[in-house]
Every structure is written in C-alpha cells, then in structure tokens.
Structure 1
Amino acid sequence: MSLVVFESQIYLTFIWESASETRLVTFDYSSPVSVIYVAMSAQELFVAAARKCLSVGRKSLSVPQSLDLAAQVSAVDLGLKPALLYDSNGACAEQVQRYLSYLQSLQLVSKSLITLDLNGNSLIVNPVTVTANLKQVLCSNGVAVIDVCHSLEKPAVSNPLREELKSMIQDFLLHLGEFQRLEEAEKALYVGEKSEEWNLCTVFGLLLGYPVTYWFDHEKSFENCLSMTPLTVTTASATWPSDTAGHRCCLYSFSIPAALHKETQSNLESWKLCLQERFQQQQVLQDLTISQSTVTLPSVCL
C-alpha cells in the first residue's frame, strides 16, 4: 500500500499480485467523492501510462508501441540494458519524464531511473548500469570503436580509444554524478553546451550498451563509408512479461561491418555472455534469443 501524490492529486494505491497478474486499486482523495479505479494488470497500466503521458497532438501510442516501450523500460530497470533511446513518436523529454514519474509512482519501475535530454534526444537511463559500463570502457577498451569516416575506402577498427572519446565519457560521468547528488530525479537531465561537441552516434552506441560503436569526424562530414558494405546485424529479443502469453520485443539491435568480424568477435562474445548472465538473474522477461542477419544497403544513416 502506498500514498502517491502526482500532479497535485492524491492517491491511495494498493498493488495486489498473483501468479498470473498484477492488479492495482486506487482511491482518488482529490475528488469530493473518493473514486475507486478499476483494477488493471501491469500491462494495462503501462499502456495507460504511455497513452496518458506520451501523446503528440491527438495521436497516442498504439498498444503494441506501448508494450514495446514497457518491455524496454523494464529491461533498463533490470539492468539488462543501460538505457533506451525514446523514438516511438515526437514526445519531448518533459513528456518522457512525466511517463517515467508516473510509472515510478505506481511502483512499476524503480525510483533510480532518470530521463536524459541529449541535444533534443530523450533517453531513459539506469545510472548504475551506465556508470559501470562507461567506467569499464575507460579501463579496458571493452567497446570496439569503428572508424567510418567518409574519406576511408572501408570501415576500420580504431584500437586505442581516441582521446576525445575518453574526454567525452569522463565529462558525461561527471555530469551524471552531479545530477544524482542534487537528487533531481523528478526532472530530466539536460546535457548542455558540452554535448554539442560530441558525436551523438558514438555517444548513443556507448550509452545503449553496444559492444561496438561507430565514429566519424562530424566536424568535417556526417557522411560515412558504409554504403554497399555488408553489415552483420545482431538482434536480441525476449518475451515480456514472463508470467503471461507475453509480448515479443527487441532489446538490442546493432550492426558490425562483416569484414571486421574477427577483429570485433571478442567484444561481441563478451557482450553476449554478460547479457545472458544478467538475463538469468531476473524473472520478468524470458526466452532470450540472440540472432544475426546480413544486410547491404545503398546508404546508411547514423
């Protein structure tokens, strides 16, 4: 049982769990007459939260979109992935934060998750997992950096981390630490002027927990050398929630130039092993599948 205050409204919330579902009963004490809301399953609560908070104009997220987002947020909360990049529609960071706060008020996800606004791109972040991943990158070069500058004939692995990449990670960790110390988790974390110097493609690869990330000199050109280059696409998917028929969702999807398979194989295998180990430590998602396919595209937008 919990007492929740959300947007100046007061709710007394009871969460009842069984082997097959989670039910919520809510009394609204802000109303002259206390209203009992209809009990809803966890899936229904996630869908209702998305529709309440993430509408753009008159258009709400569809049920499949809402369930995909719910599974992604749950995966971030469980530490299966460090962050998710919100791209379901054009909802702004304030709306994404409102959605996250609403889920937290219903005890559907932990209070530790935060919203990050990175140059207008919204992410939901697990600070503990992100921090651990980035520190590991700094210490062990656990992420392969692939140079895809347009001036190159073909992509190439840049073995040592570029100094600017190290500096970027250190700046981000400092910014994240300061935000957490201020205990402003009910607000979105805005990464300001410093991030304008960063290559967002590289940053997203790091924050989303990929074993490889692309780099190019964005001050010279945003084009790359991946045109007509065979790419191996790795996809990790799972079923959520595990206690019902569930909804199949994609947790990870990233590409690696097929020609660089040998040079990046150790990074990929370490990533797989880590994901599988973390997956076995939770019971919310099930049926983890990691698959690969090869694609060749006339142009690749990063």
Structure 2
Amino acid sequence: MSRQELFVAAARKCLSVGRKSLSVSQSLDLAAQVSAVDLGLKPALLYDSNGAGADEVQQYLSSLQSSQLVSKSLLTLDLNGNSLIVNALAVQPNAERQFNLNNVAVIDVCHTLEKPTIADSLRGDTKNVTQDLLLLLSGLELTAAEKPHCVGEKSHGWNLCTLFGFLLGFPVTYWFDQTKSFENCLSMTPLVVTTASATWQAESGDHKCCLYSFSFPADLFKALQSNLEHWRLTLKERFKLQDVLKDLTFGQSTVTLPSVCL
C-alpha cells in the first residue's frame, strides 16, 4: 500500500463511530493536518472530524506510528473531553514562547462589554491557567503510549477557548469570564477570518487543506497587525524547512453573524 492508502486505511479503521467512518477526502485532510503537526508547522490539532473520542484518536495515531508514517513525538491529549494530537517536542516550547513574549493577543469578549477589547494576557486568571497548561505540557513523556494523556479535574475550571488559542498556535485568542457567563459580545460584530492553507503531495494527486483558521474583530485589525505579521513570518520560515507540504497561501474574509459560539 502507498503512504496515502495507509493513512486512509488507518483513519477509516480506527476512527469509525458505529457504522460511520471517515470518507476518503476527510481521511486525506486529516492525514495532511497530522503531517503538519509532525513537521512542526502547527503545534497541535484539535480533532473534530466526527464523534470519535480520545481512545480512538490514540489508536489512529499508534497505527500511523507503527507504519512509520509519523514520528513518536506525536501524542494524544484528552483535555476535558476534547481530543488533541500534539507534537510534544513543539507544543510546550511554542506555548511558552507565545506567552512569555506576548505573541498572542488575548481578546476580551465578555457579554457585558459593548465591544471586544484587547486584554492584558498577563492578567491573573489567564496567567494562572496558562502556567498550569505549561506545567502539564512540560510533563508529557515521549513514550509509545497506548492510551491518551488525560488531564484531570483541574482543567474543569480552565477557559478552554483561550487555551486552545495558545495550544493551536494562533496569534489571537478569545477570553471571557466563564464563571459569570459563557455568552459573548461578538453578535453582529464584523470578524476577520484568517486562514493558512497548503497542498499535501500525495501519490494519487495533491490534496489542498486548511492548516489554520481563526478570527478576530475587524475593529482591532491595526492593533493586532504585529501579532499577525509575526505569525505569518514564523510559519513561512518553518514551511521552508520541509518538503512534504507546498504552496503555502494565506486568506482573509470578513463575516458578521447574529451569534458566535466559542
């Protein structure tokens, strides 16, 4: 079997839920995403292709590693029921660098605000949760794990929306006071959706996939320009160090929605 066929077979075998399995197109897209994590182009991937849980994602990852399709640096992290594939060699230093150098803009979208504002990323609650995350990531071991790494009860109070921004390598992330409400002030707020896409070179043909997709309020564009430019330049530099993915492109579009779920 070709590498492409091995990727597809592993996805369709390990990630099936009931009688439903991923399509060939979904399997190829996942393969490209996982390859990007393995190459260090993105520190982590939040798995949301279907209802497969962390155990199934770990089986998929173990199958890829057994076939030597990806390295042993990839691990499955179960974060309060959310399954992430992380590059243990990249995710912790990347999150630490983003936080310490203030490369990630934290946008306060609490429902009591008239409009979103840029918050202090070193504020007490965000700082404490991020430090807990960094401590967790520093303890990940590069072993042939048969089970996902599960985060305990401590994560129940974490703002996962904020943490996912740090984990997934976004230059911006949202924050809201979830102890008061999970609602936000993004209703009818013009949002700039930024993407980064690339082409995965497969045996039977190239497969285009979206590596990054995140949004931020259009009114904050100028204030966020340095964060966005640093993210683009860093990704371009990393892209030059590999030859599995090609044709890196960036895109932007503006959307206005009656409600935004974070």
TM-score by length of 2: 0.97
CA root-mean-square deviation: 1.3
Secondary structure of the corresponding residue to residue 170 of structure 1:
helix
Which residue does 1:139 correspond to in 2? 100
Q: Cα distance, 1:160 vs. partner?
A: 4.1
Select between 165-174 and 105-114 the one with higher mean Cα deviation. Answer: 165-174
- Is 2:74 the counterpart of 1:113? yes
CA contact (8 A) 1:143 1:211 kept: yes
Q: Cα distance, 1:184 vs. partner?
A: 6.0
CA contact (8 A) 2:74 2:87 kept: yes
Secondary structure of the corresponding residue to residue 263 of structure 1:
helix
- Hey, what's the Cα distance between the residues in 2 that align with 1:212 and 1:243? 36
CA contact (8 A) 2:75 2:85 kept: yes
Which residue does 1:68 correspond to in 2? 29
Give the counterpart letter for 2:77 in structure 1: L
Show CA shifts across 1:36-60 (max 9, x none).
xxxx111111000001100000111
- Is 2:173 the counterpart of 1:213? yes
Q: Cα distance, 1:242 vs. partner?
A: 6.2
Select between 64-73 and 236-245 the one with higher mean Cα deviation. Answer: 236-245
CA contact (8 A) 1:145 1:161 kept: no
Q: Cα distance, 1:90 vs. partner?
A: 0.4
Q: What's the % identity of the aligned pairs? A: 71
- Is 2:91 the counterpart of 1:130? yes
Q: Give ranges in structure 1 of 5+ residues lacking alignment.
A: 1-39
Q: Tell which has more relative contact order, 1 or 2 (C-alpha 8 A, sep 6+).
A: 2
1:194 to 151, 154, 160: 154
Distance 1:162 1:184, change over 3 A: farther
Q: Give ranges in structure 2 of 5+ residues lacking alignment.
A: none
Which residue does 2:199 correspond to in 1? 239
CA contact (8 A) 2:92 2:138 kept: no
Give the counterpart letter for 2:162 in structure 1: T
CA contact (8 A) 1:242 1:286 kept: no
- Hey, what's the Cα distance between the residues in 1 that align with 2:131 and 2:45? 20
Secondary structure of the corresponding residue to residue 139 of structure 2:
helix
Larger radius of gyration: 1
2:224 to 264, 274, 297: 264
| Structure-to-structure mapping, 1:1-302, within 5 angstroms | 40-180=1-141, 183=143, 185-241=145-201, 245-302=205-262
Select between 58-67 and 186-195 the one with higher mean Cα deviation. Answer: 186-195
Show CA shifts across 1:157-182 (max 9, x none).
0134222222222212222333317x
Q: Which runs of 4+ in 1 moved over 4 A?
A: none
Secondary structure of the corresponding residue to residue 141 of structure 2:
helix
CA contact (8 A) 2:91 2:137 kept: no
Show CA shifts across 1:187-211 (max 9, x none).
2110111110101111111111000
- Hey, what's the Cα distance between the residues in 1 that align with 2:241 and 2:139? 30
TM-score by length of 1: 0.84
Q: Cα distance, 1:251 vs. partner?
A: 0.4
Secondary structure of the corresponding residue to residue 179 of structure 1:
coil
Give the counterpart letter for 2:233 in structure 1: L
